Structure 1
Amino acid sequence: MEVLGPVTMTFEERNRTFYYSLPEHMEPCLPVVFCFHGAGSSARHHMKVTAFHKLSEDHQVITVFPDAVHFDPSDRMTKQWNEGREKNTAFQRKVNDVGFVLELIEWFKQRYPVDESRIYATGFSNGSAFSLRLGLECQDVFAGVGGVSGPLVKDLAEKFQWSKPMPMLFIMGTGDKLVPYDGYYDSTYMIDQLLSAEKTVEFFVASWGDSGNNHYERVMEDEEFSIIKNSYPQEEEKVVFYSIEGGGHTWPGGPLSQASSLTGKVAGQLDATKILFDHLTKIQR
């Protein structure tokens, strides 16, 4: 496995950076997994937390870790993906992050043997909400999308109509103190204008024309966490939702150092990286 970067490219008069990983001995056709960091974070930190890049060699995949635009170095929260929220600095500054990602795909297609039927988007928090936006607006590009702790923006859902089914996997903890799991906001939450976890999943389920045929399974339970898996449609598992009772605003299976009084607990019993990767990469557009 080889990790390259930071690579800088100019897109719409801004310098944009990204990292990526490649298998040392590449097969003729490689899937691509985009991995988007959360608000106030970075591509390098997201690599450390998720370890998606370590899958490149064994699974013959390209993983890409882009950086969002950072407007105010004194305020880390001004570094966010434009996921469609009006309160987001990137939205207010009209940052074309969707266009940037599409340009990145072209960059990789010019240099490596990309399997265009197997391009995926994943992310954490703000990066998750942005991945879901890509699933809506770029249905002819992405074979599937997924994320952790970042539901879909309400305004996008209200204005959007599906033209084809979109596979999706979503993971969220009920103990999230930054983004409300149930979609009900008060002054204690940092982020608003998002759907609840369940409404987000239901929105993607609707792309398959079936909202009632699901499989419910309690996959793990101990003193700290109870993990429930819901799959839609029941037989095919095109849309999957892992609800972590007691889980915080953290990446399940990632470093325990993520845990704090602000972010909540880390569910080490669930490997979000493996679950997202296994679910998405078996799907072809």
Structure 2
Amino acid sequence: MRYMLALAATLFTASAAIAMGPWKAVDCHLDQPCELDGRSYHVMAPDGWDGESPLPVLVHYHGWGRNGVHAQRSDRIGASTRRRGVLLVTPNSVGRAWDYWQADSDEVDFTNRVLEDVAQNYPIDLEKIYVSGYSLGSVMAWRYACESGDHVAALLAIAGALHEDSRCDQAPAEVRHVHGLTDTVMSYSKGPAGDDPTYAVGLWRARLGCGAGQDGGDWHAREFLTFHRNAWDCDAGKVVLDLHPGGHFVPHGWIGRQLDELLGRTPSYP
């Protein structure tokens, strides 16, 4: 919380200043990490960017045992941001794992400092800050959204979630969650009785004041994996839940589809 006002001020000031002139290359980019307060993160600009236009941002938390470079090189994450004009920012954890279970996590403050630092070098579109994660990184993305989500346009969570009784003082404008029903690594919760396929996003439905859900039907980006969608229009935003019959992985085309919908683009693959 103590970084929220500083973050907003930095983003507004830096973005306005940088947008007035060409972007100046920084030493850290792609595989070369940006050092910050004894830690680091990676950043990757989209293909064909003119160096001036404000950029939507996807902050993505890596899974256990990985680092920020993995998401950059992924056809399912990095390729999706590059093709859609989105700046990909991937923090590195300490010891390749995230500290997220307890409230007031230092990881939240670190992420805010990362965003402040990024805004010194890139013009950020403040209305289009998205936060994502895979597996344990998805749980970290939930934690960030709970504690610093008021300036987040959407949470894009992949195969990982906080406990349903977690406290969320803040919330993003939209929550989009995907999970495999046969996931044996981060099992998908269907509630105490095991009969509620929408239970896992109940925390956000309550937090955002959602009404009755709508069956969005089936969709797929690749024919070998079909998603079933449920969606809720809420007093303070929107919740989208995509379930598939597979296990623990980043699904083909899911990040790209969410970004297309959020950015008002015609959905495409890849």
How do 1:78-97 and structure 2 match up within 5 A?
79-84=96-101, 96-97=106-107
**Partner amino acid for 1:18?**
H
Change (3 A) 1:10 1:123: same
How do 1:133-148 and structure 2 match up within 5 A?
133-148=143-158
- For 1:33 and 1:197, how far apart are their aligned partners in 2? 28
**Which residue number corresponds to residue 45 of structure 2?**
21
Q: What per-residue deviation string (whole Å, max 9, x for no partner) do you get for residues 162-192 of structure 1?
A: 5x6630111100111111112689xxxxxxx
1:4 corresponds to 2:3: no
1:61 corresponds to 2:43: no
Using the TM superposition, give the Cα deviation of residue 102 of structure 1 relative to its aligned residue in structure 2, in angstroms. 0.4
**Which residue number corresponds to residue 14 of structure 2?**
none
How do 1:153-192 and structure 2 match up within 5 A?
153-154=163-164, 157-161=165-169, 166-182=173-189
Change (3 A) 1:46 1:218: same
Do the aligned partners of 2:232 and 2:239 also contact (CA within 8 Å) in 1? yes
Do the aligned partners of 2:44 and 2:87 also contact (CA within 8 Å) in 1? yes
Q: What per-residue deviation string (whole Å, max 9, x for no partner) do you get for residues 217-253 of structure 1?
A: 1336x9975531111129x9921111112x1101111
**Which residue number corresponds to residue 109 of structure 1?**
119
Structure 2 gap segments, 5+ residues each: 1-24, 266-270
**Partner amino acid for 2:122?**
Y
SS of aligned partner of 2:179: strand
**Which residue number corresponds to residue 39 of structure 1?**
64
- For 1:50 and 1:134, how far apart are their aligned partners in 2? 25
Name the TM-score, length of structure 1 as normaliser: 0.70
Change (3 A) 1:26 1:153: farther
- For 1:59 and 1:125, how far apart are their aligned partners in 2? 23
**Partner amino acid for 2:173?**
M
SS of aligned partner of 2:45: strand
RMSD: 3.3
Tell me the number of residue pairs that the alignment of Structure 1 and Structure 2 aligns.
232
Name the TM-score, length of structure 2 as normaliser: 0.73
1:275 corresponds to 2:238: no
